[in-house]
């Protein structure tokens, strides 16, 4: 019997997790996507089809969104075209991908900041570098979250991309969303990532946060693994002492496993430490069962314009799927050995008469934990336990090893305590 993560292939659709969508209570929620930003992309779509209603204008973006989506999943050319130069593609990116990037980046960053206790910024300023920024959603989403949770902080964001048009639309979007970003200064640089750090980047270094979102596999596509790894290693030179390099990639098997394969030797050599997703400072080897690739799946609240666009596209968007590593030159403090802390690498899946999840522990080992279904008779307990998602950190307070190697039986629902979950 196996219980594992779903195979990393979102294009085929992920089974729905049992976990409910969390409420978005404040701008400091990782899930908060500003309505004013959503309006920017809707207005761009409408400007292209002024005689249509807004909804129809959004529908007209569907073919361009489909083309981009296929480019990123099934097509994956050896050299990506400069789609940022095409207005329709940018509008499609803004409506379809920007909200996803925004929330994904914040989810990954929140784990570093909250679960690993890494404070970012100094003297009231956090400097962020977004490489392959496109419309800026990753660096901006990260900076927006950091300043939203600390009213004394200002963010300075430098966005680099080869597409001047994308960066121009990014700056226009920032200017159109003033209320949320009074404490954000933005600069942009048009440059090729493969050509080494641009002078403007070197001039602004060091950075507290360097974000590379869905850009590594485009700027350094396979088989250029040595170049990709050397580039990642070089980015550590741009980091402030406690700075974080956050690399987010699609959840596709080829991108998710490649990211971990690229990062693992950098960490094993001691040049960098992993702050997340692994809890022990390293990047674990793949599952024994090679059908399963470590990746993230999170329920989220989709913006209305994305729901509308997806009426035509019919993609599986109830969950955000991605993979990531967060690296730093300085390690995070180790988690105490007790209580045993693990991070879910699968959903809390239903098996016959029980529920089970796989996890990677703070001791670096993989394990499977199950819970008898009959212990979940109480509705409130059941809701609490089944709201635990892949990627959450839990403390295992009472579990007994089963005969099958690596399997543990939880004594009951109270044997499991959520230690960190994004909010
Ligand atoms: C899939 S988009 C990601 C945009 C944004 N980071 C996000 O996550 O939404 C990839 C971006 O990388 C940029 N890019 C690809 N190769 C590049 C290169 N060699 N130099 C600079 N930018 C590059 C593209 O122009 C595009 O904006």
Ligand 1, atom 27, residue with closest C-alpha: 134
What is the rounded CA–CA span in Å between residue 351 and residue 181?
47
Upstream peptide bond of 228 is cis (omega within 30 degrees of 0) = no
Long-range Cβ contact pairs of 219-228 (< 8 A, separation 24 or more): 219/132, 219/192, 219/193, 219/194, 220/193, 220/194, 221/76, 221/77, 221/78, 221/79, 221/80, 222/254, 222/258, 225/258, 225/261, 225/262, 227/194, 228/262
Query: Confidence class of residue 3 from pLDDT cuts 50, 70 and 90?
Result: low
CA of 162 to the centre of ligand 1 (A): 7
**Which of 176-180, 318-322, 359-363 is the least confident region?**
176-180
Tens of pLDDT, residue by residue over 300-347, are 999 999 999 999 999 999 999 999 999 999 999 999 999 999 999 999
CA of 53 to the centre of ligand 1 (A): 31
Same fold, 24-328 and 340-420: no
Q: Indicate yes or no: pTM above 0.85.
A: yes
337 burial level (CB within 10 Å; 0-12, 13-18, 19+) = exposed
Q: What is the DSSP letter of 5?
A: P
Contact 171, 142 (CB under 8 A): no
Query: Confidence class of residue 13 from pLDDT cuts 50, 70 and 90?
Result: very low
Residues 243-264: b if buried by 16+ CB within 10 A, e if exposed: bbbbbbbbbbbbbbbbbbebbb
Q: Is a pLDDT exceeding 60 seen at residue 7? A: no
> What is the residue whose two structure tokens read 């089974």?
15
pLDDT value of residue 4:
54
Q: What are the counts of helices (DSSP H) followed by strands (DSSP E) for the chain?
A: 13, 16
pLDDT value of residue 17:
46
Query: 170: which residues sit within 8 A by CB, 6+ positions away?
Result: 133, 134, 135, 136, 140, 159, 186, 188
Q: Is a pLDDT exceeding 70 seen at residue 67? A: yes
What fold, for 24-328? Answer: Rossmann fold (3.40.50)
287 CB neighbour count, 10 Å cutoff: 18
Atom of ligand 1 nearest to the CA of 248: 8
pLDDT value of residue 157:
97
**Which of 2-11, 30-39, 190-199, 341-350 is the least confident region?**
2-11
Q: Which of 85, 129, 134, 159 best tests ligand 1's pocket when mutated (most atoms within 8 Å of CB)?
A: 134
137-149 and 98-110 are packed helices; what angle lies between their axes, rounded to 10 degrees? 50
- 196 conformational bin, left if phi > 0, alpha if psi -120 to 50, beta if neither: left
pLDDT value of residue 136:
98
Q: Which of 132, 214, 250 best tests ligand 1's pocket when mutated (most atoms within 8 Å of CB)?
A: 132
340-420 to CATH, choices 3.30.450.40, 1.10.3720.10, 2.60.40.10, 2.40.50.1010? 2.40.50.1010
What is the rounded CA–CA span in Å between residue 92 and residue 95?
5
CA of 214 to the centre of ligand 1 (A): 7
Share of the chain above pLDDT 90, in %: 86
Atom of ligand 1 nearest to the CA of 166: 27
Q: Is a pLDDT exceeding 70 seen at residue 14? A: no
Query: Confidence class of residue 214 from pLDDT cuts 50, 70 and 90?
Result: very high
Structure tokens at 169: 């639309």
pLDDT value of residue 279:
98
Beta bridge partners of 343: 360, 393
Tens of pLDDT, residue by residue over 21-56, are 776 768 899 999 999 999 999 999 999 999 999 999
pLDDT value of residue 8:
42
Q: Where are the domains of the chain?
A: 24-328, 340-420
Tens of pLDDT, residue by residue over 389-407, are 999 999 999 999 999 999 9
pLDDT value of residue 147:
95
Mean pLDDT score of the chain: 92
Tens of pLDDT, residue by residue over 75-116, are 888 888 888 888 999 999 999 999 999 999 999 999 999 999
Query: Confidence class of residue 18 from pLDDT cuts 50, 70 and 90?
Result: low
Task: DSSP for 201-219, please give it.
Answer: HHHH--EEEEEEES-HHHH
Atom of ligand 1 nearest to the CA of 212: 6
Tens of pLDDT, residue by residue over 231-269, are 999 999 999 999 999 999 999 999 999 999 999 999 999
Q: Which of 37, 190, 218 best tests ligand 1's pocket when mutated (most atoms within 8 Å of CB)?
A: 218
Average pLDDT over residues 199-216: 98
Structure tokens at 118: 């890494």
Q: Is a pLDDT exceeding 80 seen at residue 10? A: no
């Amino acid at each position: 019997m196996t219980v594992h993560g779903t195979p990393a292939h979102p294009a085929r659709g992920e089974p729905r997790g049992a976990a409910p969508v969390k409420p978005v209570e404040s701008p400091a929620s990782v899930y908060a996507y500003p309505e004013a930003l959503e309006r920017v992309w809707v207005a761009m779509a409408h400007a292209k089809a002024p005689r249509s209603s807004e909804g129809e204008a959004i529908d007209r973006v569907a073919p361009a969104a489909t083309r981009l989506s296929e480019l990123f999943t099934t097509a994956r050319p050896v050299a990506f075209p400069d789609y940022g130069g095409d207005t329709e593609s940018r509008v499609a990116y803004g409506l379809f991908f920007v909200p996803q990037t925004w929330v994904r980046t914040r989810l990954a960053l929140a784990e570093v900041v909250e679960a690993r206790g890494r404070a970012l910024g100094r003297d009231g300023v956090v400097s962020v570098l977004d490489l392959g920024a496109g419309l800026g959603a990753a660096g901006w989403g990260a900076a927006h979250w950091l300043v939203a949770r600390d009213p004394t902080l200002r963010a300075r964001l430098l966005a680099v991309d080869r597409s001047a048009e994308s960066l121009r639309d990014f700056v226009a979007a920032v200017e159109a969303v003033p209320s949320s970003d009074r404490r954000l200064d933005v600069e942009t640089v048009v440059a090729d990532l493969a050509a080494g750090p641009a002078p403007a980047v070197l001039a602004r270094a060091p950075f507290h946060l360097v974000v590379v979102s869905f850009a590594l596999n485009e700027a350094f596509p396979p088989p250029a693994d040595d170049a990709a790894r050397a580039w990642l290693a070089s980015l550590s030179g741009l980091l402030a002492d406690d700075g974080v390099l956050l690399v987010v990639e699609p959840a596709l098997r080829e991108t998710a496993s490649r990211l971990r394969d690229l990062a693992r030797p950098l960490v094993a050599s001691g040049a960098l430490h992993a702050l997340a997703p692994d809890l022990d400072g390293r990047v674990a080897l793949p599952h024994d069962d090679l059908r399963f690739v470590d990746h993230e799946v999170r329920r989220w609240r989709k913006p209305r314009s994305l729901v509308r666009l997806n009426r035509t596209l019919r993609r599986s968007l109830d969950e955000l799927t991605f993979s990531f590593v967060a690296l730093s030159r300085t390690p995070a403090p180790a988690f105490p050995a007790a209580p045993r802390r693990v991070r879910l690498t699968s959903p809390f899946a239903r098996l016959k008469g029980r529920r089970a999840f796989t996890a990677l522990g703070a001791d670096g080992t993989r394990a499977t934990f199950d819970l008898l279904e009959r212990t979940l008779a109480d509705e409130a307990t059941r809701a609490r336990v089944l709201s635990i998602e892949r990627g959450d950190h839990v403390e295992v307070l009472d579990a007994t090893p089963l005969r099958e190697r690596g399997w543990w039986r939880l004594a009951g629902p109270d044997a499991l305590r959520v230690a960190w979950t994004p909010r």
